[in-house]
Structure 1
Amino acid sequence: MQLAAIFQKIHQRTPRLGKALSLGTATGVILANSFGGSLPVWLMGATKVITGSAIADKAVIKIANHWINSNNAVIDTVLPDKDWRISLPYEVHVNGKYLLVSNHQSWVDTSVVQYVSQDRLPLTRFFTKFELIYIPIVGQTFYFLDFPMMRRYSKKAIAKNPALKGQDIIEAKRACALLKNKPFTLLNYLEGTRFNASKRDKQQSPYQYLLKPRAGGLALAINALGADIDGILDMTIVYPDGIPSYSDLWQGNIKRLGVDVRYISIPSPLSIAIQNGGYENDDAVKAQMFAWVEQIWQQKDQRISAMMADFKDEFEDKFEGKFEDKFEGKFEDKEDES
């Protein structure tokens, strides 16, 4: 009997035990991979930084992909009854160069992106705070993998040293440039934070399922990489049964999930203007960028509504079918008796 089938039976017969077993197994595998891979990452990463070795660079990426693929294998093995509906353009490939935007609701989102990307998209990277480099293992891995790291300077620091003004953008562009000669997927959560209804209402968002989008991070990526990318991808993630916590994922509580990935097209004049620095220096270009992003977000909000409705309609159809199957025979028996 396959291991996945064993977990499936345990979840069906003893749900509490199944959840605990899935969570424990996932935690063990992730920790073992994290600590087991830390030394090779350090050795190859340091070699890459010191020597610029392309072989060391590829080795670090290979280790990271192994870590991600192991986590994905855990998802396929220990999480039962998954109705995960995933749609991607057929022409995307692991050797491509993509900018990826997505809605953001939970820490689970990043694991979903990694699961969806396996054997379909290149290794996903995203903008991180430079301070993360001081976190053991995780921070250095981000650095070795060429995650664009952002330094933020306070207004007070800039007032003391005016030369710092704009330095964060310059450093972020330099970090993005490290990706030019390799396949990549650069992820940007345009909302800037995780969605919830309270945040939506507080900022008076015009969207039902989304916060207001921000354009700065995507504009920076287009400026640094726009001439080299194969396309911009828009990922929409839907949790029909409510926004999950990270432990919900590994306990098998996320039964239903919808993921839709599609290409989005930025007007060529706008893309060229941003690549030439227009977003930072021209208010008209900035306004055009915001208008384009808001249009993408309006379409995404409608898409989420449609995806939620599809899950709801199918659930109601199944429930109605089970109800009819359960009681139809009884009604027929009573009619025969009469």
Structure 2
Amino acid sequence: MLASLPSFIRVPLALLALALNILLHVVFIFAFTLFKLLLPVHAIRQACSRALVAIAESWIGVNNVLFGVFARVRWQVQGLEGLRRDGNYLVLCNHQSWVDIPVLQKVFNRRIPFLRFFLKQELIWVPLLGLAWWALDFPFMKRYSPQTLLRHPELQGKDREATRRACEKFRHMPVSVMNFAEGTRFTPAKHDAQHSPFRYLLRPKAGGVAFVLDAMGEALHAILDVTIVYPHGPCTIADLIAGRVREVRVHVRERPIGHELIGSYDEDAAFRGRVKAWMNELWHEKDAQAARMQLAPAGDPTGE
């Protein structure tokens, strides 16, 4: 019913509801985080960590309900069979919009371990959300420009060290590590600047994937290859809140982690070449999948 309200009424109501949901859950996240910090007993810390994940999943669940109430999105999702709450996954996805994040959260919430993203360090200053992400063990990465690295070569590899430290923490909890291997959102300008060989994707970066696989080792048991398509064109978070996102298509494929994907990306040139070749092959398959999904009729969203 609320989705049929005029936009000048529906959008403020949706924003208010989303803001209240953030405030309510963040208060509980901060309370349990404080308790966890003040009582650093291993059993208590573990219990608090489980409580924090439950609060975060509740936060996402309420968001999903709100988007369902205020927007009319047609969801076409395939490949969720066999996913495990107690598994450990590396989730690889194409990146088109910030809408990708609520899409992934809706698709995977309470189906796999809580999704954690690598975030830019600057995002820790986002009011309420930045500290909430920190409390939920989201890893923050400080990225350096090529110019900065030339002036300060001692900073080379600092982001990789941060990746390794974050993944070491993840080895002791059920986790799903999310990686947008393209490193940035797709736009036609970025696509042209890269001379990307793919129609719907940017070039993937293999280094981050290799570091996560190396740091997590046997703790990860599978890769989830996720392809997201918005058949009606590019969209933003504002479009989602305003109800202008009409359809989302998602395809999930579980892939094994072979021994050929484990090794030292920095020190082994042959291994580095294998990982890059594997990522390029995966991205060619993903580009073909995206093309089928984009062009398929509504009744067959994945084109299979």
TM-score normalized with structure 2 length? 0.89
Name the aligned partner's letter for residue 280 of structure 2.
E
Asked whether 1:301 is paired with 2:254, we answer no
Q: For the residues of structure 2 that align with 1:257 and 1:151, how far apart are their CA atoms?
A: 32
- Relative to structure 1, the CA distance from residue 308 to residue 132 in structure 2 (aligned partners, 3 Å threshold; closer, same or farther) is closer
Q: For the residues of structure 2 that align with 1:188 and 1:128, how far apart are their CA atoms?
A: 10
**How far did residue 304 of structure 1 move?**
0.8
- Relative to structure 1, the CA distance from residue 307 to residue 160 in structure 2 (aligned partners, 3 Å threshold; closer, same or farther) is closer
State the partner residue of 2:159: 168
Asked whether 1:234 is paired with 2:222, we answer no
- Relative to structure 1, the CA distance from residue 156 to residue 193 in structure 2 (aligned partners, 3 Å threshold; closer, same or farther) is closer
Q: For the residues of structure 2 that align with 1:151 and 1:200, how far apart are their CA atoms?
A: 25
**How far did residue 161 of structure 1 move?**
6.8
Specify the SS of the correspondent of 2:110: coil
State the partner residue of 2:21: 33
State the partner residue of 1:42: 30
State the partner residue of 1:245: 236
**How far did residue 311 of structure 1 move?**
2.8
**How far did residue 154 of structure 1 move?**
5.9
**How far did residue 266 of structure 1 move?**
4.1
Name the aligned partner's letter for residue 122 of structure 2.
E
Q: Aligned residues: percent identity?
A: 33
Name the aligned partner's letter for residue 145 of structure 1.
L
CA contact (8 A) 1:124 1:187 kept: yes
Asked whether 1:75 is paired with 2:67, we answer yes
Q: 1:263 aligns with which of 254, 258, 262?
A: 254
Asked whether 1:201 is paired with 2:201, we answer no
**How far did residue 267 of structure 1 move?**
3.3
Give the paired residue count: 297
State the partner residue of 1:322: none
State the partner residue of 1:136: 127
- Relative to structure 1, the CA distance from residue 156 to residue 246 in structure 2 (aligned partners, 3 Å threshold; closer, same or farther) is closer
Name the aligned partner's letter for residue 215 of structure 1.
A
CA contact (8 A) 2:87 2:113 kept: yes
**How far did residue 136 of structure 1 move?**
3.0
Asked whether 1:58 is paired with 2:58, we answer no
The superposition leaves residues 100-150 of structure 1 with CA deviations (integer Å, 9 ceiling, x where unpaired) of 010111111101001111232221111112333333322211111111222
TM-score normalized with structure 1 length? 0.81
The structure whose Rg is larger is 1
Unaligned runs of 5+ in 1: 1-5, 12-16, 316-338
CA contact (8 A) 2:90 2:224 kept: yes
Q: For the residues of structure 2 that align with 1:214 and 1:45, how far apart are their CA atoms?
A: 34
- Relative to structure 1, the CA distance from residue 252 to residue 215 in structure 2 (aligned partners, 3 Å threshold; closer, same or farther) is same
- Relative to structure 1, the CA distance from residue 241 to residue 57 in structure 2 (aligned partners, 3 Å threshold; closer, same or farther) is same
CA contact (8 A) 2:115 2:176 kept: yes
Specify the SS of the correspondent of 1:68: helix
Q: Which has the higher helix share?
A: 1
The superposition leaves residues 161-180 of structure 1 with CA deviations (integer Å, 9 ceiling, x where unpaired) of 76544333223211121112
Of stretches 231-240 and 133-142 in structure 1, the one that deviates more from structure 2 is 133-142
Q: 1:91 aligns with which of 50, 67, 82?
A: 82
